[in-house]
Amino acid sequence: MKKRYAIALLLLMVACGTPLEQPMRDFNAYFNSFYNAQKVFEEGLEQNLNQSLPINPELPIPVYPAPSRGGAQSFEDAIMKGAQILRDHKDTRFEYAAIEMIGKSYYYRQEYFSALEKFSELQNVSEGEMRQNALYWKGRVYFHMNAIEEGIEFLESEMDLISDWEPAIRAKTSVVLAQLYVANDQWREAFDQLQVNVPLMENRKDRDRAYFLMGQVAEQLGDFNMAKDAYSNVRTSNPDYDLVFHAMRKEASVARSLGEYDRAYNLFRSLSRDDKFIQERPDLVYDLGRTLQLMGSTEEAARQYGALLRDDRLRPSPETKAKTYYGIAEIYRYDLGDYVFAAAYYDSASMQRVDLDKLPAGFDAQEMAESFGEYASIQLEVAELDSLLWLGQLEPSAFDSVLSVIQKRLEEEQRREQELLEQQQSQSTAVIVNPEQIQDVATSSEFGFLNAQNQRLQQDASLQFRAVWGERPLADLWRRRAEITDAGNRLAGSVDTASGNAANGAAGSGNVASGEAADEEPVNADVSGVETDDSSSDDSEITGGELAQNTESGMPKPVEGPGRQNASTRPHAPLVDISRVPFTQQEQDSVRKMIDELHYRLANVYFLSLEEPDNARTYYEDVIDRDLHKTLIPKALYSLTELHLLEDQTEEAQARGMQLLETYPESVFAERIANRLGVEFDPPEQERERSAQVQIEELEAFMEDTVLSAEHRAELYRSLADSLEGDAVKPYLYLEAAMLYIEEAKQSAPDSLPDRSGWFLAQEQWELQKQELAEVKDSVRIVLADSVIGNTYRLQFFRDRFEEREEFWEIFPDSLSPETKLGDREMQFFQQLSDSSLTEPVWFELFPFQGALWDSARVTLDEYLASAGSSPQKPRITKLAASLVVPEDPNAIPVVLEEMMPDSARTDSLGIPIEDGRLVPEAGIDSMGVDSMGVDSIGVDSLSVDGSSLGIPATMASDSTSSASQDSLRPSEIVPSQDSLKIAPPTPTVPSSEVPGDSAGVNLPNSGEPAEPDSVSEEVEDILETDDGGSHQPETN
């Protein structure tokens, strides 16, 4: 037996030096380390892949979804075991596999940078399939890092370097590249990669998702046949239910886009009847309704939509509700032509709280709601004015008949409401309850006193109250008050019937609201047959022209006349308000002009918002043909010409443009349309003679009716201001243009707000730093005065600043007492502080107001200042203009202006002299102003003071040229802390005779608070951030 063991041991020892050595190492590495590491990794992978995310078919589906959070600990263990393999079994064939496993573990832990490093290492050290897999995994990492362009560049360059690709690995790597193309909106390149490589993929699950992505890309390219084939490939592969459902739904949607409505309907119907997709039934009901709508079966589609919204069992998601409301709105818009109802349903669609990523691209419910809402409001105004105009043109007898019909209709509605109320009251049953069983609702009710904690019960109670008592404002004792009012009305009616002349005196002039003269013929409304509360059997007449407005209640009241019954004797009879009916020719012409204005607004809504040029053309032509509103016709002609130009209708545009030039040559639109048509046009002289105010009104009316950018509007204001000579409104126009330039500059760079705020903050901090340095210098100057005052102040100075710093007291043990004079080290220290200065920031690098729009704003502000005279706004705008002046670029090459301009022009926009391309020092002021202490900002030598400890970011330096001795105290070791700079020590009261030096004594620092910094920056920031340069009213020089 021992002999056998010896032989085996001998063979093993021999094997270590023979070709069997490497297999033995691999065997040992596998069973000792790699097997366990791989097992842990697979456990984490299973946990990670089980947490799949739902599919959103409205967005491109990721073929390789982002990893979840599952299995994090297992991946951590796999990383540790893989690292052990690299340490202990470096020369085995499992080395590359361990690197790959570590990279994958980092990837599934979403540590993408670490994963990228490992896969890059694997790419560099491996060959063959292992290197190809490294490229594949690096592409996935780039995609999930959102480094799209870097990933595309990497795969495009590296894939071409490998000639012997394994087909399956190349296929999945190309699909990763296609995914990157999709993320970069390179749809054609993505489709080409998918079309070639998806069929070659080995993993069925990944292949199905790639087919789904291929269908989405084909839809984006408009190739619906290819999209349908791709989605059908997903369905035949039979993957998981979620992907199958969305693939079949997409296939049906594509068939609908191809006009195959029957096939699409059958697919949707088949899905809706499948119990596996019961949760998605609301979406399928919508799809059925949408398909019916596109088929032309609008009634069936409307019923389908209505069932989806009313059926409580379906419970559609907010996104499905929004699409359903949108579909109903389209039915009313396109099929029924009812834009008012379309506006209501668009509004309902926009009010849903949706996730926009779950809605189709281009879902514009909010925009449609606004556009159609504007249309509906205008259309209702037009209908109301048309009705009033029709009533005003009726003969008196016809008007009375119409009024009588309206009166009877209102009374009938009132009677039905009263019957319904009585019916509800009769159905209420009195319940007798034992008083002992009555509980205090304030304490025992489940929802608190009067159900205050239950919103639904409170809403029900509110609806019941309104059903009984109607809509009425809150008032104390309103029931009793109404009863007294009715009794008073009945009494007043009896008195007025007996005294008709008194009633006529109270009536006044008749048609107060309508504006008719008192002597015009009244319009009689026949209300015969209407029952009254009076016992008289005679039919009563109420004169329509004698209705006035009750100023107390806001409701119309009848004005009594002789022989006519006062309607107040019938307290419950509804009244008809005819105060807005235009009875005179002047009123009717005014209403017609109002209708023309509304028609012009409707035309703009059709043209600019609803994109229905045919309807817009109809309304523009209606305004022109009616020829009532002279100020609207030029605008209508201009808009109609633009409409024809957009539709390439050159002849029609030429005809309308020439009509504008010939009929309204003085209009502000004439020159513009001449430029658009390329026609020579000389404005008549009367155009220049018109008042500036009229031109401004025309320009602003044009801009209200036209969609223009802020920059375009600013240019129009400047152009008009340049055309005026010596007018008082020029500053107003320039200021308005400047504010529009500023507004456009801010909107064009929405992320620049932090830069602007940081600019003003830096200016304020600079002023504070200069002020704090000046205060320190004042303190040091007193210390340097060799006197009792200086010594006492010196002691206070150091105690306040260095009381907590023990190392300082070790340096200055006794030299701080008032009796001790300053030594050389102390004098050097304080002298360096006194000579220190600040290094000013490079303002040019911080300046945020740069660009063409800001340049235009600066020029326009200069034009305002040149023409503003003594305007009260001029000081504020001067500060704004100074704040927008571009700081000097320290790297710029000076320009010699003498060769470029005469001496008379050598001033900047603020009138400051210029010399050699720079501001003259004596006259040069910057936008921050000069520090009140007159601190110089230059002068630096080798003995720098640590400015950070003074609370000043810039570097402080001494102007002294003497070098410190080796044993001298360095100022950086004892400079005050930031918090100690704001000390304002009390001023010692010492006679000037005791202080050596100047006979006037030492200038001691003020004992009060430091002066406030300049508030120019705050005021300018307020102007910029509120887009308000002041009250833009015409100014007088």
- CATH number of the domain that 354 lies in? 1.25.40
End-to-end CA distance of the chain: 124
Q: Would you say 350 and 367 are in contact if contact means Cβ atoms under 8 Å apart?
A: no
Is it the case that residue 320 has pLDDT exceeding 90? yes
For residue 422, give every residue at least 6 positions away whose Cβ sits within 8 Å of its Cβ, in sequence order, or none: none
Instruction: Determine the pLDDT at residue 222.
Output: 93
Q: Which of 602-611, 641-650, 702-711, 739-748 has the lowest mean pLDDT?
A: 702-711
Instruction: Determine the pLDDT at residue 608.
Output: 87
Q: How far apart are CA 391 and CA 402, in angstroms?
A: 8
**Does some domain include residue 653?**
yes
Q: How far apart are CA 331 and CA 295, in angstroms?
A: 12
Of 673 and 910, which is predicted with more confidence? Answer: 673
Q: What is the mean pLDDT of residues 871-897?
A: 70
Residue 174 carries which side chain, given as an amino acid letter? Answer: S
Instruction: Determine the pLDDT at residue 1025.
Output: 56
Query: What is the tens place of the pLDDT at every residue in 685-698?
Result: 554 445 666 777 77
Of 731 and 981, which is predicted with more confidence? Answer: 731
Among 985, 646, 963, 648, residue whose Cα is nearest residue 783: 985
Instruction: Determine the pLDDT at residue 877.
Output: 81
**The domain spanning residue 672 has which CATH number?**
1.25.40.10
Q: Are residues 247 and 113 in the same domain?
A: yes
**Does some domain include residue 147?**
yes
Of 550 and 617, which is predicted with more confidence? Answer: 617
Q: Is 944 helix (H, G, I), strand (E, B) or coil?
A: strand
Q: Are residues 554 and 665 in the same domain?
A: no
Q: Which of 60-74, 967-981, 988-1002 has the highest mean pLDDT?
A: 60-74
Of 917 and 429, which is predicted with more confidence? Answer: 429
Q: What is the DSSP letter of 59?
A: S
Scanning 605-691, the segments in alpha helix (DSSP H) are 613-626, 632-646, 650-663, 668-677, 685-689
Cα 320–Cα 325–Cα 328 angle in degrees, nearest 5: 125
Instruction: Determine the pLDDT at residue 195.
Output: 94
- What would the two tokens of residue 191 be? 């489709």
Of 771 and 937, which is predicted with more confidence? Answer: 771
Q: Are residues 213 and 167 in the same domain?
A: yes
Neighbours of 830 (CB within 10 A): 21
Q: Are residues 319 and 329 in the same domain?
A: yes
Q: Is 804 exposed, middle or buried (0-12, 13-18, 19+ CB in 10 A)?
A: exposed
Instruction: Determine the pLDDT at residue 239.
Output: 59
Residue 249: phi and psi, rounded to 5, are: -65, -40
Q: Are residues 40 and 154 in the same domain?
A: yes
Instruction: Determine the pLDDT at residue 423.
Output: 82
Q: What is the mean pLDDT of residues 447-470?
A: 67
Instruction: Determine the pLDDT at residue 54.
Output: 83
Percent of the chain with pLDDT over 70: 61
Instruction: Determine the pLDDT at residue 462.
Output: 73
Q: Would you say 871 and 829 are in contact if contact means Cβ atoms under 8 Å apart?
A: no
Q: Would you say 217 and 246 are in contact if contact means Cβ atoms under 8 Å apart?
A: no
Cα 313–Cα 314–Cα 317 angle in degrees, nearest 5: 135
Residue matched to tokens 């009677």? 415
Q: Are residues 206 and 329 in the same domain?
A: no
Is it the case that residue 816 has pLDDT exceeding 90? no
**Does some domain include residue 577?**
yes
From the centroid of its chain, how far is CA 482?
Answer: 50
Is it the case that residue 945 has pLDDT exceeding 70? no
- What would the two tokens of residue 140 be? 């996935």
Q: Which of 220-224, 587-591, 949-953 has the lowest mean pLDDT?
A: 949-953
Q: Are residues 51 and 37 in the same domain?
A: yes
Instruction: Determine the pLDDT at residue 523.
Output: 36
Q: Which of 484-488, 675-679, 708-712, 990-994 has the lowest mean pLDDT?
A: 990-994
Q: How far apart are CA 878 and CA 872, in angstroms?
A: 11
Q: Are residues 98 and 238 in the same domain?
A: yes
Is it the case that residue 207 has pLDDT exceeding 80? yes
Neighbours of 351 (CB within 10 A): 15
For residue 772, give every residue at least 6 positions away whose Cβ sits within 8 Å of its Cβ, in sequence order, or none: 950, 951, 952, 981, 982, 1010
- What would the two tokens of residue 787 be? 């006197």
Q: How far apart are CA 513 and CA 661, in angstroms?
A: 42
Q: Would you say 971 and 943 are in contact if contact means Cβ atoms under 8 Å apart?
A: yes
What are residue 525's DSSP bridge partners?
542
Of 867 and 902, which is predicted with more confidence? Answer: 867
Q: Would you say 563 and 499 are in contact if contact means Cβ atoms under 8 Å apart?
A: no
**Does some domain include residue 293?**
yes
Cα 407–Cα 411–Cα 413 angle in degrees, nearest 5: 120
Q: How far apart are CA 342 and CA 28, in angstroms?
A: 77
* Distances from the Cα of 875 to the Cα of 227, 729, 867, 881, 1030, angstroms: 66, 18, 13, 10, 11
Instruction: Determine the pLDDT at residue 304.
Output: 93
HSE-CB for 264 with a 13 A CA cutoff: 25
Is it the case that residue 979 has pLDDT exceeding 70? no
C-alpha dihedral, 90 to 95 to 99 to 100, nearest 10°: 180
Instruction: Determine the pLDDT at residue 698.
Output: 73
Q: Is 940 exposed, middle or buried (0-12, 13-18, 19+ CB in 10 A)?
A: middle
Q: What is the mean pLDDT of residues 873-885?
A: 78
Is it the case that residue 61 has pLDDT exceeding 50? yes
Q: Are residues 235 and 195 in the same domain?
A: yes
Instruction: Determine the pLDDT at residue 917.
Output: 38
Is it the case that residue 32 has pLDDT exceeding 60? no
Instruction: Determine the pLDDT at residue 105.
Output: 94
Neighbours of 948 (CB within 10 A): 14
Q: Would you say 589 and 690 are in contact if contact means Cβ atoms under 8 Å apart?
A: no
Q: Are residues 517 and 652 in the same domain?
A: no
Q: Is 918 helix (H, G, I), strand (E, B) or coil?
A: strand
Among 623, 974, 996, residue whose Cα is nearest residue 821: 996
Query: Which of 707, 740, 766 is the last residue before a domain boundary?
Result: 707
Instruction: Determine the pLDDT at residue 172.
Output: 95
- What would the two tokens of residue 128 be? 């063959």
Residue matched to tokens 């704001």? 982
Q: Would you say 135 and 98 are in contact if contact means Cβ atoms under 8 Å apart?
A: no
Q: What is the mean pLDDT of residues 346-371?
A: 90
Angle (deg, nearest 10), helices 204-221 and 241-257: 20
**Does some domain include residue 860?**
no
Query: Which of 679, 707, 735 is the last residue before a domain boundary?
Result: 707
Q: Are residues 319 and 304 in the same domain?
A: yes
**Does some domain include residue 941?**
no
Of 869 and 801, which is predicted with more confidence? Answer: 869
Q: How far apart are CA 521 and CA 543, in angstroms?
A: 10
Q: What is the mean pLDDT of residues 202-225?
A: 93
From the centroid of its chain, how far is CA 802?
Answer: 52
Q: Which of 86-90, 309-313, 394-398 has the lowest mean pLDDT?
A: 86-90
Strands 914-915 and 918-919: antiparallel
pLDDT classification of 678: cutoffs 50, 70, 90: confident
Q: Which of 8-12, 573-577, 721-725, 820-824 has the lowest mean pLDDT?
A: 8-12
**Does some domain include residue 286?**
yes
Q: How far apart are CA 366 and CA 326, in angstroms?
A: 10
pLDDT classification of 947: cutoffs 50, 70, 90: very low
Instruction: Determine the pLDDT at residue 331.
Output: 95
What are residue 476's DSSP bridge partners?
none
Query: What is the tens place of the pLDDT at every residue in 33-49?
Result: 677 888 889 888 888 88
Instruction: Determine the pLDDT at residue 486.
Output: 52
pLDDT classification of 836: cutoffs 50, 70, 90: confident
Is it the case that residue 829 has pLDDT exceeding 80? no
Split into its structural domains, the chain has a count of: 4
Instruction: Determine the pLDDT at residue 387.
Output: 92
Query: Which of 351, 368, 385 is the last residue before a domain boundary?
Result: 368
Residue 907 carries which side chain, given as an amino acid letter? Answer: T
Instruction: Determine the pLDDT at residue 154.
Output: 95
Instruction: Determine the pLDDT at residue 535.
Output: 37
Is it the case that residue 520 has pLDDT exceeding 80? no
Q: What is the mean pLDDT of residues 190-219?
A: 94
Q: Are residues 115 and 229 in the same domain?
A: yes
Is it the case that residue 280 has pLDDT exceeding 50? yes
**Exposure string (b/e) for 1003-1025, b if CB count within 10 Å is 16 or more?**
ebbeeeeeeebbebbeebbebbe
**Does some domain include residue 33?**
yes
Q: Would you say 616 and 652 are in contact if contact means Cβ atoms under 8 Å apart?
A: no
Instruction: Determine the pLDDT at residue 471.
Output: 63
Residue matched to tokens 């155009």? 687
For residue 534, give every residue at least 6 positions away whose Cβ sits within 8 Å of its Cβ, in sequence order, or none: 493, 540, 565, 569, 570
Domain that holds residue 509: 505-530+540-583
Residue 815 carries which side chain, given as an amino acid letter? Answer: S
Q: How far apart are CA 1026 and CA 120, in angstroms?
A: 52
Query: What is the tens place of the pLDDT at every residue in 115-149?
Result: 999 999 999 999 899 999 999 999 999 999 999 99
